[in-house]
Amino acid sequence: MNKIKTDRIKKVREARGMTQEEFAEALGVDRALVSRWENGKKIPQLDTLIRISDVLNCSFLVFVDNQIAIEAMIRYNHSYPFV
């Protein structure tokens, strides 16, 4: 079971009015990588997911299940989720 909800990357990106190309440029990655994330063919690492949420101006919690959120809070020493 995938704990990262990659299909939500596309939904939020489109809601923000960004093309894959614009999104890729803002992240400093190749557009093909964005496509692979959105299609679930590649899963972004947690630090990349946080960068994605920064670019899309949303909480990274949009893209993860509860267990990942807890792990992230521990890893990044936060007492409250990044919202």
What is the pLDDT, as a whole number, of residue 59? 86
Domain boundaries, the chain: 7-75
What is the pLDDT, as a whole number, of residue 68? 64
What is the pLDDT, as a whole number, of residue 82? 44
Q: Of 1.10.260.40, 2.40.170.20, 3.40.50.970, 1.10.287.3510, which CATH number belongs to 7-75?
A: 1.10.260.40
d(CA 21, CA 43): 18
Tens digit of each residue's pLDDT, the chain (83 residues): 567 888 899 999 999 999 999 999 999 999 999 999 999 999 998 889 999 999 999 988 888 876 666 666 666 655 444 44
What is residue 4's three-state secondary structure?
strand
d(CA 77, CA 27): 24
Using alpha carbons, select from 44, 71, 25 the residue that is nearest to residue 81: 71
